[in-house]
């Protein structure tokens, strides 16, 4: 029976006949170890061997673990690479589709529009069978006795034309000849100058807000059936029967030479206000070059206001510190004469930056004199300029950020201490809207031409080139949202007065939606969407059911005036669907 082995000691092989000496030595060594199996040295040897084996297995396991971790990380990176490549591929496809859509839109805009169809003239009146041909004088007298008293005509025909008209009334052949000889309202006569013909469409701004009524002559020019009707059926004078007769200067319709009406009477005044504000900035700069102390103080105030406007957010209660800073700078400008006597030497008449000069207020009205400190006007201009810059930059990407800026603007310009003779200086802000976003004031133009882009407020870059369409749309989006945030403020529970009430929002909405199809532009659709989106609740809270009807016109009717494939116009219809989905607002008219 083989001897029993113990841990740490290898068992000896069976004895070999060829090497007896080695076998005996091994047996002696084995016996010695067997006797010393419980000694301390034997246990140390066994523990050392076990530790070495343990370390070997542990190192091998750690190596395998590291390899597995590397495999997992490599797999994760591979998945990320695949996802990134897929996203880049999809984004590239989307960009290419957008580019194709834009190219197709540009091609569609270049398609010439066919001229309007000339309406078919009314059929000739068949001759009436009369038993007896009365004379001209008797027939004219009987017809005048049977007809009701006509309305006063703006111009009486000449004696030769009157006699000719009576002759054509007397005989059936004259009635037919009258229709044959009558000139077409849509085609100029051969002998009549083309410049004297009225245009086919009136250049009016809005039928809904037009103040002056059309004259009978204008109605006859706009309606060809009225223009070609017999003289006995209209009160306006007919075209002369004599083809050699040319109309005089006084006979031309005043509506064709009349200037298009603007939304506000002071719309051109805002351009002058904007120029005057540049002079204010120039005067402050010149004064700063002469007085270093004034330059330092004015610069600190300007930077404080600009920095505070940039800190405005939509979080509740977070705008108190920036608002207090802005108000503190404006209040300091009103009383800074105790520190800088130079302000007293430069008073400024606020009427230069207002649409109209207000009368003196009652006794005790703040700033009731003829002037205000120049520095106060300058800081109000800085406030307006900083707010407009925020509208163009931040609100263009996120229109919701325009609301807190509009709240601060209205709250500052509504305070009596920053007003003149009880009237707000909000015209400083509106003048900047007039220059940067003219469509809010009824200005129209073609955004595909140089002149049209200049009218619509399209900006140029440093090289004198027009900015891209996307940049322009972002600017118009921010300005439209900013204008709505100023107009749609509720002052029913405030002691302050509303410097720019919601009626101005309604007028801007009407001036855009009442545009003729030929005069619409993508800029109008972009601005209109920005005015409505995120401001529907405020608008309906003020106007109620009439506001719903106005939204129907803006979101349902107005997009149909655009050319086919206009992306900006279709965004209004998408907004209507969004309102219907999120708020349940139905704009369909039953």
At residue 94's C-alpha, the angle toward residues 91 and 95, to 5°, is 85
Check pLDDT > 70 for residue 409.
yes
pLDDT of 404 higher than 60 = yes
Q: So what's the pLDDT on residue 19?
A: 62
The per-residue pLDDT for 196 is 36
Instruction: Taking residues 235-244, report their average pLDDT.
Output: 37
Q: Which of 220, 217, 154, 232 is nearest to 186 (CA)?
A: 220
Give the 3-state secondary structure of residue 187.
coil
List the one residue out of 507, 375, 488, 482 whose CA is nearest residue 429: 482
pLDDT at 579 over 50: yes
In the three-class reduction of DSSP (H, G, I as helix; E, B as strand; rest coil), residue 163 is classed as helix
Chain center to CA of 444 = 14
Least confident of 111-115, 118-122, 332-336: 118-122
Confidence band, pLDDT 50/70/90 cuts, at residue 323? very high
- Residue 343's pLDDT is 43
265-285: burial string, b at 16+ Cβ within 10 Å, e else: ebbebbeebbebbeebeeebe
Cβ-based neighbour number of residue 357 at 10 Å = 12
Q: What is the distance between the alpha carbons of residues 239 and 253, in angstroms, rounded to a whole number?
A: 13
Mapping DSSP onto H, E and C, the string for 539-566 reads: HHHHHCHHHHHHHHHHHHHHHHHCCCCC
Beta bridge partners of 407: none
- Evaluate if residue 2 carries a pLDDT over 80: no
Phi, psi dihedrals of residue 350, rounded to the nearest 5°: -65, -15
pLDDT at residue number 130: 55
Query: Which whole number is the average pLDDT over 331-349?
Result: 64
SS3 content of the chain, % helix, strand, coil (to 5): 60, 0, 40
549 pLDDT higher than 80? yes
Out of 1-5, 162-166, 537-541, the most confident range is 537-541
Confidence (pLDDT) at 57: 95
pLDDT, position 539: 94
- For the chain, give the percent of residues with pLDDT over 70: 68
Nearest C-alpha neighbor of 207 from the set 523, 555, 511: 511
pLDDT of residue 11: 53
Of 167, 323, 301, 157, nearest to 235 by C-alpha is 157
Of 542, 508, 17, whose CA–CA distance to 263 is shortest?
Answer: 508
pLDDT (average), residues 382-399: 93
**CB of 505 closer than 8 Å to CB of 488:** yes
**Res 151: pLDDT:** 42
Residue 582: its pLDDT value, please?
87
CATH architecture classification, 261-356+366-436: Alpha Horseshoe (1.25)
Instruction: Give the mean model confidence (pLDDT) for residues 210-220.
Output: 37
Nearest by Cα to 102 from 585, 570, 566: 566
Q: What is the pLDDT of residue 241?
A: 39
- Say what the pLDDT of residue 499 is: 94
Output 82 or 237, whichever has higher pLDDT: 82
Residue 107: pLDDT band by 50, 70, 90 thresholds? confident
Contact yes or no for 340/297 (Cβ under 8 A): yes
pLDDT average, residue stretch 15-25: 66
Q: What is the mean pLDDT of residues 533-561?
A: 93
| Statement: residue 247 has pLDDT above 90 | no
Residue 257 confidence (pLDDT) above 90:
no
Using alpha carbons only, how large is the chain's radius of gyration in Å? 44
Tokens 């600017």 found at: 475
Structure tokens at 368: 């009731």
Question: Who's near 251: CB < 8 A, 6+ residues apart?
Answer: 155
Task: Name the strand (E) or helix (H) holding 347.
Answer: strand 347-348
Query: What does the alpha-carbon distance between residue 61 and residue 43 come to, in Å, rounded to a whole number?
Result: 27
Q: CA–CA separation, 387 vs 173, rounded Å?
A: 73
Residue 415 has pLDDT above 50, yes or no: yes
Note the pLDDT of residue 124. Answer: 63
In the predicted model, what is the mean pLDDT of residues 424-440? 95
Residue with the larger pLDDT of the pair 248 and 428: 428
More confident residue, 292 or 213: 292
CB atoms within 10 A of CB 541: 13
pLDDT above 90 (res 303)? yes
> What does the block give as tokens for 489?
């403020």
Could you tell me the end-to-end alpha-carbon distance of the chain, in angstroms, rounded to an integer?
Answer: 112
What's the confidence (pLDDT) of residue 103? 84
Mean pLDDT of 328-357: 74
Select from 138, 148, 140 the least CA-distant residue to 164.
140
Residue 134: the pLDDT is 47
For every residue of 166-222, DSSP letters joined together read HHHHHSHHHHHHHHHHSPPTTS--SSS-GGGSPPSS---S-SSS--SPPPHHHHHHH
Return the structure tokens found at 97. Answer: 């589709």
Q: Where are the domains of the chain?
A: 261-356+366-436
Indicate if the pLDDT at residue 49 is higher than 80: yes
Residue 185 near residue 224, CB atoms below 8 Å: yes
Residue 416 has pLDDT above 50, yes or no: yes
Tokens coding 357: 């000069």
* pLDDT band, residue 18 (cuts 50/70/90): low
Average pLDDT in the chain: 76
pLDDT of residue 15: 53
The residue that leads in pLDDT, 113 or 66, is 66
Report CA torsion sign: 539, 540, 546, 549. Answer: positive
Q: Dihedrals φ, ψ of 564, to 5°?
A: -65, 135
Lowest-pLDDT range of 10-19, 414-423, 454-463, 491-500 = 10-19
Is the pLDDT at 508 greater than 50, yes or no? yes
pTM value > 0.75: no
3-state secondary structure of 423: strand
Distance from chain centroid for Cα 59 = 68
- Average pLDDT of 222-243? 36
What tens digit of pLDDT does each residue of 167-205 get? Answer: 434 433 443 334 334 333 333 333 333 333 333 443 333
Identify which of 450, 309, 473 has the alpha carbon closest to the alpha carbon of residue 392. Answer: 473
């Amino acid at each position: 029976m083989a001897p029993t082995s113990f841990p740490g000691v290898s068992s000896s092989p069976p004895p070999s006949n060829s090497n007896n000496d080695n076998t005996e030595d091994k047996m002696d060594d084995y016996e010695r170890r067997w006797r010393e199996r419980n000694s301390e040295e034997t246990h140390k040897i066994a523990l050392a061997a076990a530790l070495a084996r343990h370390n070997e297995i542990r190192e091998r396991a750690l190596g395998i673990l590291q390899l597995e971790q590397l495999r997992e990380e490599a797999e994760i990176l591979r998945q990320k690479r695949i996802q990134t490549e897929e996203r880049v591929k999809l984004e590239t496809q989307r960009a290419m589709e957008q580019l194709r859509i834009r190219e197709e839109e540009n091609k569609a805009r270049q398609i010439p529009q066919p001229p309007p169809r000339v309406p078919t003239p009314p059929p000739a009146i068949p001759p009436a069978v009369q038993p007896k041909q009365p004379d001209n004088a008797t027939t004219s007298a009987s017809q005048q006795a049977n007809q009701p008293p006509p309305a006063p005509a703006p111009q009486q025909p000449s004696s030769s034309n009157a006699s000719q008209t009576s002759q054509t009334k007397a005989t059936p052949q004259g009635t037919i000849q009258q229709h044959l000889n009558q000139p077409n309202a849509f085609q100029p006569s051969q002998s009549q100058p083309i410049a004297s013909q009225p245009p086919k469409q009136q250049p009016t701004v809005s039928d809904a807000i037009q103040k002056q009524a059309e004259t009978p002559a204008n109605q006859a020019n706009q309606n060809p059936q009225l223009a070609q009707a017999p003289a006995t059926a209209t009160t306006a004078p007919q075209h002369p029967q004599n083809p050699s007769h040319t109309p005089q200067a006084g006979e031309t319709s005043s509506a064709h030479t009349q200037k298009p009406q603007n939304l506000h009477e002071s719309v051109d005044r805002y351009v002058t206000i904007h120029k005057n504000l540049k002079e204010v900035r120039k005067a402050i700069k010149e004064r700063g070059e002469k007085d270093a102390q004034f330059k330092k103080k004015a610069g600190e105030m300007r930077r404080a206001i600009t920095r505070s406007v940039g800190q405005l957010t939509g979080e509740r209660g977070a705008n108190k510190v920036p608002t207090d800073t802005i108000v503190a700078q404006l209040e300091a400008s009103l009383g800074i004469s105790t520190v800088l006597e130079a302000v007293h030497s430069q008073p400024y008449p606020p009427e230069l930056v207002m649409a109209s000069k207000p009368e003196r207020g009652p006794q005790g009205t703040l700033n009731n004199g003829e002037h205000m400190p120049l520095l106060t006007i300058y800081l109000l201009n800085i406030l307006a300029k900083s707010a407009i810059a925020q509208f163009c930059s931040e609100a263009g990407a996120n229109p919701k950020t325009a609301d807190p800026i509009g709240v601060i603007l209205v709250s500052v310009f509504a305070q009596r201490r920053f007003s003149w003779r009880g009237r707000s200086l909000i015209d400083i802000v509106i003048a900047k809207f007039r220059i940067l976003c003219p469509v809010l004031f009824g200005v129209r133009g073609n955004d595909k031409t140089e002149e049209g882009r200049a009218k619509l407020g399209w900006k140029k870059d440093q090289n004198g080139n027009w900015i891209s369409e996307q940049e322009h749309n972002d600017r118009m989006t921010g300005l439209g949202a900013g204008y709505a945030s100023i107009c749609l403020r509720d002052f029913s529970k405030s002691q302050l007065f509303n410097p720019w009430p919601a009626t101005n929002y309604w007028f801007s909405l009407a001036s855009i939606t009442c545009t003729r199809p030929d005069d619409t532009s993508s800029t109008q659709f972009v601005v209109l969407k920005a005015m409505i989106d995120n401001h529907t609740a405020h608008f309906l809270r003020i106007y109620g059911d009439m506001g719903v009807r106005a939204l129907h016109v803006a979101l349902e009717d107005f997009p149909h005036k655009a050319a086919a494939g206009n992306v900006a116009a279709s965004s209004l219809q998408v907004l209507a669907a969004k309102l219907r989905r999120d708020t349940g607002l139905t704009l369909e008219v039953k």
